[in-house]
Chains A and B, each alone.
Chain A
Amino acid sequence: MQSDIPSRRWPWFAIGIAVAASVTVAMLSPADAVQGELVRIMYVHVPAAWLAYLAFGVTLIASIGYLLSRNLAWDRIAASSAEIGVYFTGLAIVLGMIWAKPTWGVWWTWDARLTLTAIMFFVYVGYLALRRTTDDRRARANRAAVLGVVGAVQIPLVHFSVVWWRTLHQPASILRPDGPAIQDPIMRVALLIAVIAFTVVYVSLMVKVAELHRVNDAAQAAEAGEHHPVAGASVTAPGLDPGVGNV
C-alpha cells in the first residue's frame, strides 16, 4: 500500500516562474539616481524581509488555530511557516548586509529595522529549537503553539522598545539601509511584482514543507502502530486474515 498523501509538483513550477518574473523585473527596472545599480538589491532584500514578517504572522495565527481546535494540521502549518520564516529572516539579514557594505561602508548598522529583524531571527530559532526537544506530536504542538502566541504578543512590545531606543540615540549620519523613499513609479511596480513573486514562493514552499511534515507524521504513526508487540516479543498478535491489508 503506497502512502496516499498526494505529492504535488505545481509548487516547484510556481517557484520557477516566480523567480523568473522577479529577476526579469529587477533587471528591466531603471537604475537609481542616488544609489545606482545597488538599488536592484532592494528587489530581493525587501521581499525577503516582507516574507519574514508574513511567515511570522502565519505562525502566530496557526498557533492560535491549534490551541483552539487541537487539530495537528494547524501545528504543521505553524511549524512549516516557522521553518520557511527563519530561512527568509536570515536571508533578509544577509541581503541587508550586502546592501549596506557598498552603500555605507559597514556590514552592520544598529538601526531599528535591522536590529528587530535580528531579534526576530532568534525568536524563530528558539521556536524551532523547542520543537526539537520532543518527538511526542501532542506535546510538541502544545508547547510550540504557546511559544508562538507568547512570541507574537511580545513582538509589538519589542518593536516599540527598539524604535524608541533608536529615536533617542539617532547617530549623526543617519544610516538607513533602505535608503530614500522610492519615487519612481516603474520601480514601485517592479518592487510590487517582486513582492508578489516572493509571496508565491512562500505559498509554494508552505505546501511542500507542510507535505513533508504530514508524511513524516504518518511515517512516525505507522512505525509506532507496526512495532507494538503485544505482551512483549514472545507473543505475536494473531492476524484476522492474512490476505487483508495491515490494520
Chain B
Amino acid sequence: MSEWGWVALAYAVAYGSFAVFSVSVAARIRAARDRLDAAVEDPR
C-alpha cells in the first residue's frame, strides 16, 4: 500500500470512529430522553 494509502486508512479510522461515536452518543441521549419523558408523563 502506498504512503497515501496508509494516511487515508488512518484518517478513515480516526474520523470515521469520531462519527460513529458521536452518532451513538446522540442516539443514546435521544433514547434516554424518551425514557425520561415516559417516566415523567406516566399518570400514575
Contact = CB atoms under 8 A, between A and B. Distances in A.
Interface stretch (A37-45, A124-132, A152-160, A165-173): A37-45
Interface in A1-38: 1-3, 5, 7, 12, 15, 19, 23, 26, 36-38
B19 to A, nearest CB: 9
Interface residues of chain A: helix, strand, loop or mixed (majority): helix
Contacts of A12: 22, 26
A183 interface: no
B36 A37 contact: no
Interface residues on B, range: 20 to 34
Interface of A: 1-3, 5, 7, 12, 15, 19, 23, 26, 36-38, 40-41, 44-45, 48, 87, 91, 94-95, 98-99, 101-102, 201, 205, 208-209, 211-212, 215-216, 218-219, 222-223, 226-227, 246
Interface of B: 1, 3-4, 6-7, 9-11, 13-15, 17-18, 21-22, 25-26, 28-29, 32-33, 35-37, 39-42, 44
